[in-house]
């Protein structure tokens, strides 16, 4: 409840992101997003107690993605190169052709 960002690292990492808010199945969209590699949030748990959660790598991306929703920011707003936005069908075809790997993030 009421998460608050306490810390985000200057070190960034890039991950492919998608979101159920941007379509499902073959029509869903994905794109590479750079986010802080580590973050820390404060929130109130279900018992009403204040907690702090530290996250790194992919979990940090997920937390920051979800915090963005609370600010009205979609992951597509954070994609630096719009030509890298791919549909699920396009991304799956690329991965199938390249041994399960997604396109390299520039």
Reply yes or no on whether 66 is catalytic.
Answer: yes
For residues 74 and 77, what is the distance between their CA atoms, to the nearest angstrom? 5
Task: Name 5's Cβ contacts closer than 8 Å, sequence gap at least 6.
Answer: 39, 40, 41, 64, 67
Residue 20, burial from CB neighbour count under 10 angstroms (0-12, 13-18, 19+)? exposed
Choosing from 15, 42, 66, 96, which is the catalytic residue? 66
Which sequence positions are flagged as catalytic? 66
């Amino acid at each position: 409840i009421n998460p608050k960002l306490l810390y985000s690292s200057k070190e960034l990492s890039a991950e492919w992101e998608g979101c159920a808010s941007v379509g499902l199945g073959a029509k869903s969209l994905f794109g590479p997003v750079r986010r802080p590699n580590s973050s820390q949030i404060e929130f109130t748990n279900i018992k009403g107690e204040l907690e702090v959660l530290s996250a790194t790598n992919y979990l940090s991306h997920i937390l920051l993605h979800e915090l963005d929703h609370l600010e009205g920011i979609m992951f597509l707003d954070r994609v630096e190169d719009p030509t890298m936005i791919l549909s699920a069908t396009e991304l799956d075809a690329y991965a199938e052709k390249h041994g399960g790997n997604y396109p390299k993030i520039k």
